[in-house]
Structure 1
């Protein structure tokens, strides 16, 4: 957190109507040819429909008319990846190692409204409830019944609320370096910046956390150390940045999300209300979310895996990340 499936219509047209005549040898030959033709058409149609269902890059249209980018890839049970940001996209996760999960899961990589390769809502509806319905639209339109949710960073908030509203459609929730309290995560970043720069950015006023964070992160970047909020390895962050610059991206949601109070509630203690299987993967050095952020989670059916790494575990600790998820699926 730094900070339509479409189908073709198949019609068989005949130049003249079928006539009923006595079954001569010629007629039997014609019937055989017609049956062969119909079988060919059915097989072809099935192949085309199958290709449409598994088309790697496509878009779906939400119930309120927003076009969301969607890529479906992999084998196994369906898993919807909910990216962070706010205002990021799914491409960097997929490209930097998230796709190793495709060996055991059918991954649904979608970009949230106003983010990445998706369009923005005309009515500017970026509410949390609407973000939840977008996830439901992905599930519904793709025809999945139960799905796994894999949430990274800020994505933890919409994914968690989807699981609360639609628990019968969730096989399990995977919280990967995920936040359920933006304020707590921003305070973690401010504290780490103070440690790096030997500064004293602080605030006792929750309404001033964002402005204090902006001042702190600006100072860190001016020292050329902004990458340290994601990783200790500047080359890894440079690679991430190169992917993020590889194509034009929509960033509308990112511009407004931090101005929306509903996203700043502390959802950690209410996690006791969600009684589904949950895997929490935390980085022992994840100063973006907070290395102790998970300690406030109260999921009744929770499995915890703390990995020695930062905010980019799916890339920098890919083997450990894959192992944790694979064991959770068993």
Structure 2
């Protein structure tokens, strides 16, 4: 029995030593990571505690607005890895924007930092990329946190909801009869144009024009590239252009039953960017849903509720 007890103690000590070694490798720092195909990506490590990589939305968004406008409040209990994807934020443009290439970039940064397992957190379009990483590299995923995230870009249900809400903002009732994704997309673009003319387009993201002002000011101070967004969206906006990256427009809710890690889904009850009911499409086996009073940018507008939701989720995993 003494030998068994000694073996258990040694095992526990070794596990703790491994964890401490990993945490030492993740000292707070900023650097440019150069990918195997020579693309420079800005990376920032900040915080303490469990490790979590953030996947920005957009498409083409950088990590800066999330980090500086509320995401950094997570750093009290999470070691956050922020990185801009190729052709996004302040990263360099690239020739290859395939899903597999973006996933490899993420995993190469993970390996560079010496991280074995980590949480992943996505915002908006970032959900599409994040679930694909979890599917391809399950051995390195400790859990997922979806913040106002879409797993199906241009979901017909979300488009129909946006059109209906848009016309409601314009003071008109409408019945959405279209089912075809192309027709719904055209209808969504039409109502967005009408909202822009009366300066109400921001309401798909937030009810507060002041919030938009804060985000716009931050963006103006840090110019960014939109090459990734342009390359994947151009064929959607102009049907004469060849679709090169169709993988970004598939319904990835279909793979959620196969992702067997703890998942936190944070949804805004007034989020009309991805839709207030979009979260219902995900079927993760170990899924917890937290609804927060807010829109698409609730991590800024209702930061305390957002941080509490993440903190409680992480705490639950440490107990389990």
Length-normalised TM-score, structure 1: 0.80
- Residues 174-253 of structure 1: pairs in structure 2 closer than 5 A: 174-184=145-155, 185-197=158-170, 198=172, 203-253=178-228
* Structure 1 Cα separation of the partners of residues 79 and 280 of structure 2: 30
CA RMSD of aligned residues (A): 2.0
* Structure 2 Cα separation of the partners of residues 255 and 247 of structure 1: 19
Bigger radius of gyration, 1 or 2? 1
Closer, same or farther in 2 for the Cα pair 1:71/1:186, shift >3 Å? farther
Cα-to-partner distance string for 1:63-116 (whole Å, 9 max, x where unaligned): 222111111111112111100000111000011111000001111111111011
What is aligned with 1:115?
88
Length-normalised TM-score, structure 2: 0.82
What is aligned with 1:173?
144
TM-fit CA distance, 1:307: 0.8
* Structure 1 Cα separation of the partners of residues 269 and 310 of structure 2: 17
2:40 to 52, 67, 77: 67
Instruction: Please tell me whether residue 304 in structure 1 is matched to residue 275 in structure 2.
Output: no
Q: Show structure 2 runs of 5+ residues with no match.
A: 1-22, 236-244, 316-320
What is aligned with 1:161?
132
- Residues 272-287 of structure 1: pairs in structure 2 closer than 5 A: 272-287=257-272
TM-fit CA distance, 1:51: 11
- Residues 259-298 of structure 1: pairs in structure 2 closer than 5 A: 259=235, 260-298=245-283
What is aligned with 2:11?
none
Closer, same or farther in 2 for the Cα pair 1:134/1:199, shift >3 Å? farther
Closer, same or farther in 2 for the Cα pair 1:110/1:222, shift >3 Å? same
1:150 to 113, 116, 121: 121
* Structure 2 Cα separation of the partners of residues 160 and 249 of structure 1: 25
TM-fit CA distance, 1:214: 2.5
Q: Could you say what secondary structure the match of 1:303 adopts?
A: strand
* Structure 2 Cα separation of the partners of residues 105 and 239 of structure 1: 25
Closer, same or farther in 2 for the Cα pair 1:228/1:189, shift >3 Å? same
Q: Does the 8 A contact of 2:54 with 2:122 survive in 1?
A: yes
